């Protein structure tokens, strides 16, 4: 009965997030996106409730576990050979989706199994390195697409998954390794446009119409609003195309412009209510696999919320990451709802 109530509570939270997302797209005048997003929500809710009739233990079965991993890598590799410049999307007729979103399931399963058996051994460098090498193929394939935002998100999921198991000395050593690794990335890996995004965030490039344009428009939108905003339908920047990616990466900035910082507080409250429900599911779980999978899902939503909020407030370099549940897009929404459906089903069988 407890789990039934939590599933219903999660559903109510998601309904409120759906309302924020759909009304924002409608207010933008993106009626085609509004209708598509409505369909994405319906498909997502269908998957969310699918684990009411599908036993969640299926995903922990070795056969399906390996199948998901193989399929994830197959899609991540296959998308690299699709025609066109943008390689992060896989097109199957009229249907397009991001393999990186699907691959999250297998990433969580790999880390879930690792933590369930080797979490106590992470104080040893060998096992720490092993945990990173399990994630490295994902990071490499996603970087090749290229999708730096998703690669960074995957990295942070791994980092926060293992950080609480590390002693202080090893954590300090790990931070030094990351500093050296970051310098290597800057010199040999990052492309010029990626470096410009970082440097323009730290130091103005003096080019407000190109390199600094996105960050400049975000700050103008935030400065032009107040606690309760300008009112729905009264946006000056987002509605008239002056705020870049107002329906996707910067939809949170658009919501703040229209509904003020009060709108951001409502969104934040809903996200934290969702995380709180997941935490209770984590706390009452007795199986290690279930507990660790839920732990990773909590990390994922918390990290994604923090990153996208910082980006939409102009407090972090733009890396192309959409805010959870409110941004337009089927891939991230459908797979996030699928994840929540899996977690909400734990304990019901």
Average pLDDT on 179-208 reads 71
Q: Are 274 and 343 in contact (CB under 8 A)?
A: no
Q: In the structure encoding, which two tokens stand for residue 172, read together?
A: 């300090």
Q: What is the pTM of this model?
A: 0.90
Average pLDDT on 286-308 reads 93
pLDDT for the residue numbered 92: 66
Q: Are 294 and 343 in contact (CB under 8 A)?
A: yes
Q: Is the confidence at residue 3, as pLDDT, over 70? A: no
pLDDT mean across residues, the chain:
85
pLDDT for the residue numbered 159: 92
- % of the chain surpassing 90 pLDDT: 38
Q: In the structure encoding, which two tokens stand for residue 58, read together?
A: 């299926």
Average pLDDT on 15-20 reads 96
- pLDDT tens readout for residues 80-137: 877 666 677 776 666 677 888 888 889 999 999 999 889 888 888 899 899 999 999 9
Confidence of residue 209 (pLDDT cuts 50, 70, 90): low
Average pLDDT on 175-191 reads 78
- pLDDT tens readout for residues 47-89: 998 877 777 778 888 878 888 888 888 888 888 877 666 677 7
Residue 218: CA count within 13 A, CB half-sphere: 22
The angle subtended at Cα 52 by Cα 48 and Cα 56, nearest 5°, is 85
Closest listed residue to residue 267, CA positions, set 20, 37, 12, 40: 20
Q: Is the confidence at residue 22, as pLDDT, over 90? A: yes
Q: Is the confidence at residue 295, as pLDDT, over 60? A: yes
Average pLDDT on 292-320 reads 91
Residue 228 three-state SS: coil
pLDDT for the residue numbered 4: 57
Confidence of residue 211 (pLDDT cuts 50, 70, 90): low
pLDDT for the residue numbered 263: 94
pLDDT for the residue numbered 154: 93
Helix 148-162 to helix 288-312 angle (10° resolution) is 130
Closest listed residue to residue 234, CA positions, set 221, 249, 217: 221
Q: In the structure encoding, which two tokens stand for residue 72, read together?
A: 């994830």
pLDDT for the residue numbered 73: 86
Contacts of 188 (CB under 8 A, 6+ apart): none
Q: Is the confidence at residue 1, as pLDDT, over 50? A: no
Average pLDDT on 275-289 reads 88
Q: In the structure encoding, which two tokens stand for residue 262, read together?
A: 């009060």
pLDDT for the residue numbered 206: 57
Contacts of 320 (CB under 8 A, 6+ apart): 147, 148, 149, 249
Q: In the structure encoding, which two tokens stand for residue 340, read together?
A: 């929540």
Q: Is the confidence at residue 203, as pLDDT, over 80? A: no
pLDDT for the residue numbered 78: 82
Backbone angles phi, psi at 61, to 5 degrees: -65, 135
CA–CA distances in Å: residue 210 to residues 128, 200, 251, 311: 42, 10, 20, 18
């Amino acid at each position: 009965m407890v789990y039934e109530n939590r599933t219903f509570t999660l559903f109510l939270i998601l309904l409120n997030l759906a309302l924020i997302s759909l009304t924002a797209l409608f207010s933008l005048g993106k009626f085609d996106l509004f209708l598509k997003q409505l369909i994405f929500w319906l498909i997502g809710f269908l998957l969310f409730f699918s684990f009411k009739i599908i036993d969640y233990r299926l995903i922990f079965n070795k056969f399906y576990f390996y199948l998901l991993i193989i399929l994830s890598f197959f899609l991540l590799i296959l998308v690299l050979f699709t025609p066109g410049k943008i390689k992060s999307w896989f097109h199957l007729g009229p249907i397009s989706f991001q393999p990186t979103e699907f691959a999250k399931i297998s990433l969580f399963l790999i880390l879930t199994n690792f933590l369930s058996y080797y979490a106590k051994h992470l104080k040893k460098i060998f096992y720490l390195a092993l945990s990173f090498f399990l994630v490295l193929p994902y990071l490499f394939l996603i970087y090749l697409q290229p999708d730096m935002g998703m690669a960074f998100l995957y990295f942070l999921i791994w980092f926060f998954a293992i950080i609480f198991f590390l002693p202080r000395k090893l954590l300090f050593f790990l931070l030094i390794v990351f500093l050296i690794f970051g310098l290597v990335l800057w010199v040999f890996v990052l492309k010029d446009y990626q470096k410009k995004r970082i440097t323009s965030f730290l130091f103005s490039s003096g080019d407000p119409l190109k390199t600094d344009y996105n960050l400049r428009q975000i700050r103008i939108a935030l400065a032009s609003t107040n606690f309760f905003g300008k009112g729905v339908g009264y946006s000056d920047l987002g509605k008239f195309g002056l705020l870049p990616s107002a329906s996707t990466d910067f939809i949170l900035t658009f919501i703040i412009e229209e509904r003020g910082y009060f709108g951001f507080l409502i969104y934040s409250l809903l996200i934290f209510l969702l995380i709180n429900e997941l935490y209770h599911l984590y706390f009452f779980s007795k199986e290690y696999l279930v507990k660790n999978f839920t732990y990773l899902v909590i990390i994922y939503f918390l990290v994604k919320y923090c990153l996208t909020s910082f980006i939409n407030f102009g407090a972090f370099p733009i890396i192309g990451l959409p805010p959870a549940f409110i941004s337009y897009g089927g891939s991230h929404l459908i797979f996030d709802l699928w994840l929540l459906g899996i977690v909400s089903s734990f304990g019901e069988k």
